[in-house]
Structure 1
């Protein structure tokens, strides 16, 4: 495996030069930048427009991995570029510090979650500073700091006051290993995303945010400058369906007086084909309508379903099960008696928790009916149907049949007509349904923001007064998972006084989902020291929304969707301007191990950033990650690749610190200036388009041009100086330390990072054309214009495209070609 010391220097002419020592250079400049507050961002800079760049704050796991660097180094380059473009750029950083891993560490290693988290923050802060990014550390946030989660609790109270936070008994995803509930988004293929344990269903009192109230707004994401695949993922998760609600009369009213079952369908044109009804096992009517003779079978089935996750129940590959309740309802459109079944493929959390089954036109209903001998009634005619029984479900649209007054209508018209008829009769009407569920925020864990709610026997549920925030986590708590929050075991925390009646009260012992903390952290960066509000309206308007956000697409239906909901609620509360939190979002790819597989300790393919930075320097590691491949794709980590980047930075060092003899030279001046301005144009376009790999390639090419003149021993003084200047300015966003060091050496100025981004001369970005004489057998037959660096093949192709020259060549065989670059093309024929 190729390795090369990071201080190695190569000189084409063999001259001795001072070696490039990234460790010393980077440490010196990081200390200088910190001492000078170079990256502190004023809230308002006269004559400059504010621009907010943000990369997702890291979870406090204790170590930055390569993925963190791949997300943050290009983000830093982008922020630096816009700062040089004249914007007042805010580029903050902080720590997502609550969550299960801290508690798991407490259980495993006997260290308190707070101590574990704070130690990790200290370590990660040092790693982030070693990156050399222009983070404004004055704006640092820590979501586990009471000064921060005071405002997380304040947000909860604002949502509670507006009926956007509520508590209800509901089926919850329960991880028996983590001993906590999980949001739907945290269940992957039926398993806990944290520990991969199979998730169960439990009925529990849970706190929710009414995110579905914003479903239509959340669905409207076309105007966002986000990757299309992320917007599609959100739209699919929200899952808007247009259809109709219809009611079926219970043959015998339920014990509580309920006399109907309501269903939602996207195909009201098939209502006449209903041959059975299916209730979710959790539907409240199951217990009430089940007949005595079916009670044992239904109870056993419901108990069995409690061990199957919602994800499994929704699988199209899973065999559909069910049991008959013994009860019937009436299809009001046909007057027919419809048996009521219980089936686990129906979910209480979607629609009404009941479905009408039309086996002729739904494949899963067809299979269910075939196995149980239930009737199949076709009400939509397949093409060229002869009226014979169907052998499989016909699921497409068609002409309505066996549908009474609606016979002959095409499906689209039939959907409208049936829906209107339902509304006229008072049996239902049009409805829009969403797949999106309200956001479950309750967690039965310790290391999270306490929910600011009290329970009083006299006053009921009481919100904690704002002047009593924060409700702080106690330090002395038992962390072993018991199925209830560890806070419930702390009498000092639980027992308190009701602020309304001064009587005894008990605190809510669940904590908030950690996504709550990350749904608003970007607002706090704008005003991190405010003790009166999470962010002042003035500074919210100065900085929000975020101009450029970067992160992974795995956050599409969790963090990004939650943050959009939260921002819209904050807008309605009057805290923030606009409708969306992030104007632009970029989804970076993933760095794989050298073997092309996802990095994993078990595979032994993890690349530790600290070791790479120690060996090669931060600039080299940053530049390599940008050069590795397109930022939105990533790729495998290649050790040989970083060797090449190290050699390039050594060449940069050498050409700047040890130039050739400089004098007036028109030929070299033209080539150098064209190369410099072409490179500047490419780098400018590439940074703005986030094509960092081609940006680095362009800088390498310009370095090679300088190296060529250095090896030749001479170059034009003014052009050399201009080219070096443009190289260093173009290099500054991606490799800030070496650019700073060399800029000071060649200009005597500090700092390269406050210099304006240079403007390229348009005329110099176009290829230089030269006129070449074209001869056929030694006689001039014309002239062509080609790029100055055109080779023989390119010049010949242009010549043979000229009609006059083509005519001279017709009927002849080319014997040989004589080409003098930039001057002559002689085609010898016979």
Structure 2
């Protein structure tokens, strides 16, 4: 007779977990000691998650993977006798709440507060050891007062300026979008959010001079314990190159066109010159008989994204201006063309075309039957039929004949300088940061305009808060929503407030510093608190998604370096060690998405299995950095594992 095995008693999470979560909260177990407080004599550890945007959808299990990992590390260091700072807050300004306000009339503040409440509830149900006394919200005037204060420091230092910039404007969203927020589609460029048509418009924008810090942002990567792949992404984004500027005189004119090239050794092979459609000299250099075609071409290119224009696989298009320049190295007259594979934002917006030694120039020359002149050959082997773009040896290059590429480059730069036709130049792909948004729900700029000039507000006038509104829709002219509040916009002394708001990036550029001293009402943070928590190279461990590998981290590093130069922070880098968590896919191996219906809601998992089982499974799924699919069967394994321990 078979005796049935007794069923294993399940782990009674429904009674144990809430009881202990309540006990931890009441005892304030996870509060970190400030400098000079009891407990601050211990060595410190600062363990930080990239704080979330509180969306209407709530948390999903992907968020919780990183939070579980940092919680384990925080608890480990506490048990090892360290004073651990492990805070949580909300990156709460942003377009989704504003779009919801446009559609429903609900104030973004109301939507944001409701979403924060839901996120907080979900996170607390997981039993993480956050110090909730330090909770911050980027939309709180007590917080964004200091975001505005930092902007004023950037302005005083000459790092914030106004420029007329060709930008992507989305009429449906009523705002300017960054290049990274534009999708290339068969129908043309579209906004990543909402998939709306976008267009190029010249608009007055605030810019931040991040390019002034390009070299330090590059060099100081060597100070950091970050994955090499991520450092490489930042290096590529900064895009340092060494080369030369060359001046090409325009025939029958006093004008000249300056180009930048990383291959000055190929100057003898230049057979035409190309301007970007946005180049300021385009109109003045176009002959009357070519004007109609050039204008038609310029208009057509304005609806293309930078990605579309520079796509290597696409057919190259362009049209001649009818004017010519002189190649300074050999006196040859070569034609000027306009082509959209040249971008105004890269180099000088003009290139010397050497089709024999550049793939894009070669494709263009083939399409329009322009001459191809070889001036560099391989050190060994034969020339191919396409462009030869590697280093080699110069020939048919006058005084460069027989020189290998590195020496030929140096010799040509010397010749250009000596004959006043050019100069050595170091350049970066990194562009200044477009810092304006034509939105309501963002930090107002602490700036007023008087007689056409920007004037900073005084520190005593901060925070400058948003006015109450009922209509958040921007005007069709592109004027931001704030322009509708006449009483807020126009001041009694005749000056006018800046109507743009800051991008969502602003609040996330320095939040890790506010966590050091979040109740400080007289400064963004106290010096003692900053030196204590940011000692030994900054945040000890920073964990977040790889989607922030470039922009957020680059922007935060830039602001931090500015604060370091102003002696407001004590170390040149904010995040000593960084780990990128992988994405958790749905059970169907696709990215979790509401539209696909494969999102796993942690509320459901906790209700069925408990927070401990969910935390165990998040860590059992595989290495933190890897992408991996969710598995209901795997979840059951974690439940059985806890039941065994409980017995």
| TM-score bucket (shorter structure) | over 0.9
Q: Separation in 2 of the partners of 1:326 and 1:177? A: 39
1:259 CA drift (Å): 2.0
Matches within 5 A, 1:666-685: none
Gaps of 5+ in 2: none
Gaps of 5+ in 1: 1-11, 498-502, 655-830
With normalisation by structure 1, the TM-score equals 0.74
Q: Tell me which of 582, 586, 604 is aligned to 1:593.
A: 586
1:604 CA drift (Å): 2.1
Equivalent position SS for 1:583: coil
Residue 646 of structure 1 corresponds to: 639
Q: Are 1:60 and 1:97, in contact at CA under 8 Å, matched by a contact in 2? A: yes
Q: Tell me which of 291, 294, 315 is aligned to 1:295.
A: 291
Q: Separation in 1 of the partners of 2:84 and 2:382? A: 71
Q: Tell me which of 434, 438, 441 is aligned to 1:440.
A: 434
Matches within 5 A, 1:232-631: 232-253=232-253, 259-382=255-378, 391-457=385-451, 460-482=453-475, 483-497=478-492, 503-544=493-534, 545-631=538-624
Residue 213 of structure 2 corresponds to: 214
Equivalent position SS for 2:356: coil
Equivalent position SS for 2:431: coil
Q: Separation in 2 of the partners of 1:285 and 1:132? A: 63
1:186 CA drift (Å): 3.0
Residue 150 of structure 1 corresponds to: 145
1:583 CA drift (Å): 0.2
Q: Separation in 2 of the partners of 1:455 and 1:43? A: 41
1:484 CA drift (Å): 2.4
Q: Separation in 2 of the partners of 1:551 and 1:191? A: 27
* CA spacing shift, 1:86–1:295, aligned 2, 3 Å: same
1:460 CA drift (Å): 2.3
Higher relative contact order by CA 8 Å / sep ≥ 6: 1 or 2?
2
1:359 CA drift (Å): 1.1
Q: Separation in 1 of the partners of 2:611 and 2:149? A: 40
> For 1:473-495, what per-residue CA distance to the aligned partner results, in whole angstroms no more than 9, with x for missing partners?
11224112433211111112211
1:325 CA drift (Å): 0.9
Which contiguous aligned blocks of 4+ residues in structure 1 show a shift greater than 6 angstroms?
Answer: 12-19, 384-387
With normalisation by structure 2, the TM-score equals 0.94
Q: Separation in 2 of the partners of 1:130 and 1:32? A: 13
Q: Are 2:316 and 2:367, in contact at CA under 8 Å, matched by a contact in 1? A: no
Residue 160 of structure 1 corresponds to: 155
Equivalent position SS for 2:330: coil
Q: Tell me which of 94, 110, 113 is aligned to 1:99.
A: 94
* CA spacing shift, 1:90–1:235, aligned 2, 3 Å: same
Equivalent position SS for 2:247: strand
Q: Separation in 2 of the partners of 1:139 and 1:161? A: 30
Q: Are 1:183 and 1:441, in contact at CA under 8 Å, matched by a contact in 2? A: no
Bigger Rg over Cα: 1
Residue 721 of structure 1 corresponds to: none
1:591 CA drift (Å): 0.9
> For 1:303-346, what per-residue CA distance to the aligned partner results, in whole angstroms no more than 9, with x for missing partners?
11111111211111121111111111111111111211111111
Equivalent position SS for 1:51: strand
Residue 133 of structure 2 corresponds to: 138
Q: Separation in 2 of the partners of 1:128 and 1:560? A: 24
> How many residues end up aligned between the 2 structures?
631
Q: Separation in 1 of the partners of 2:526 and 2:246? A: 48
Q: Separation in 1 of the partners of 2:198 and 2:626? A: 32
